[in-house]
Chains A and B, each alone.
Chain A
Amino acid sequence: MKECIIQTQDLVHTYPTGVTALKGVNLSIYRNDKISIIGQNGSGKTTIVRHFNGLLKPTSGKVLLYGTDTTQQKVGEMSRKVGYVFQNPSHQMFCTTVKDELEAAPKNFGFTAQETKDAVEEVVELMNIKDVLNVHPLTLDYTTKKIVTIASVLTFKPDVLILDEPTGGLDEAGRVMLTNIIEMMHRNGHTVIMISHDMDYVAENSDRIIVMCEGEIIDDGVPEDIFLNAPVLQRAQLEPPQITQLDLYLENGNQSRAILSVKDFVDKYKQNIN
């Protein structure tokens, strides 16, 4: 049985403006899950994940990280376990060079000089960003900024990696690199949580999808089932990936599992022809 690493119990969050973004959410996240949280803007996606490392505190209810209430833990300690890549990379860049940026988190988390050096070298190699090490991060193009912020979180290898809208503004090469990173983290036993509006990407890169609407979880399951659940998608104002929609049209909605990728689609129809 998988280890439950994050659990929310009747989680409610109301912002100082009076907006209640989460309305009693119950959720369990397990080690090595590869989850996507989907929903319209304002559905509570970002608010819920910001509870996972203590950036937000519950208005009521509980969030448990490794079985301990997040209100009883320091944000710094939780951030070491739960790495969070922000939607806007500029909100996570504070140094004057990319190299300093990459060294910041390991230093803050108490890595030795050698450990910091090794961690930085590893992500520089992995993300192919050697050429920009001495550049000011804010002068980089958007894709490279995103890659640098992901790299800065990967330096400390968090147990859980949260990616908030990771594909937004990424070019194709960036998407391929992102996919490789998600796969690598998943292969190495880490948990990956992605928030995204990009249904095509979510369908191909998630084992589990959580659908949120108006501060509540309205569905939680495997993508093959989620993208066939028309009432839920309609309520959340979401559409399945294009390839899923094409298959739905061709099959008149009679399939039992959604097709999630072009490869699956081609395999299925090749099989039908044969």
Chain B
Amino acid sequence: MGMRTIDSSKGKMRTTYMAILIPLGIAINFVGGQIASRLALPLFLDSIGTAIVAAIMGPFVGAVSGVGFNIISSIIGGNILSSLFGICNIATAFIVGFMTRAGKFKTVVHAIIATVAVALANALLGAPIAVVVYGGIQGGGVDLLVAGMLSLGRDILSAAFLARVPINLVDKGIAVFAAWLILMRLPDSLKNLAGGKKKIEEEQEEESN
């Protein structure tokens, strides 16, 4: 039986899925962010949608959803500079999306690796952005830790980074595992929209036709 590789990400339905999932990702990010903000949780919860869209549709569509959320939320919040946090969402989308494409987002271990990578990337990128946009303090729950470190003499950049590492491990763990759980439960026909290659048996396909 001969084998061939097909790219199932180029189906006619892809545009439809994009039209549904990009705004859905933005909405999930928005609701999560509002919950974290209103309850003053030491979490962000504003990248769950990004991770889900990236896992299903791939890194670039996930990034569009993430950046879209940051732009909309910066306009609503009246602080355009805060859209810079879209860079963090791009990192989240790229790590999750490219791991999915490479077939490395299938097991719990893969999800843990993705969580650590996404958390570190977000802490590294988020710290200088927070310093530029808010002077290190942005009003969220993470500020309590940043402020605590600053008050004991830590410089603002290292405080913003160190406070974000544990918080991002939990926060991005929630986002990545939500994406992983949803991806694992999708039917096979929808698992390759991210651009992953799938091997099928050509003869079997022909027989079924």
A residues with a Cβ closer than 8 A to B are 15-17, 50, 53-57, 74-76, 79-80, 83-84, 86, 88, 91-94, 104-105, 107-109, 152-153, 156
Contacts and interface: CB of A to CB of B under 8 A. Distances in A.
Nearest to A88: B144
Given A16-B138, A17-B37, A104 B148 contact: no
Given A15-B139, A16-B138, A79 B77 contact: no
Contacts of A83: 151
Contacts of A105: 152-153
Contact of B151 (A56, A86, A107): A86
B107 interface: no
A76 B154 contact: yes
B151 A16 contact: no
Given A76-B156, A91-B144, A16 B150 contact: no
A54 B155 CA distance: 12
A78 to B, nearest CB: 9
A156 B145 contact: no
A152 B149 CA distance: 12
- B contact face: mostly helix, strand, loop, or mixed: helix
Contacts of A108: 152-154
Chain B interface residue count: which class?
Answer: 20 to 34
A107 B152 CA distance: 9
Interface in B19-60: 37-38
Nearest to B144: A91
29 contacts: A16-B77, A16-B134, A17-B38, A17-B139, A50-B147, A55-B151, A76-B154, A76-B155, A76-B156, A79-B152, A79-B153, A83-B151, A84-B147, A84-B151, A86-B144, A86-B147, A86-B148, A86-B151, A88-B144, A91-B145, A92-B151, A92-B152, A94-B149, A94-B162, A104-B153, A105-B152, A108-B152, A108-B153, A153-B152
Contacts of A57: 135, 137
Contact of A80 (B38, B79, B147, B153): B153
Contacts of B150: 53, 55, 75-76, 79
Nearest to A57: B135
A15 B138 CA distance: 8
A156 B152 CA distance: 9
A76 B139 CA distance: 19
Interface string B120-158: 000000000000001111110000110111111111100
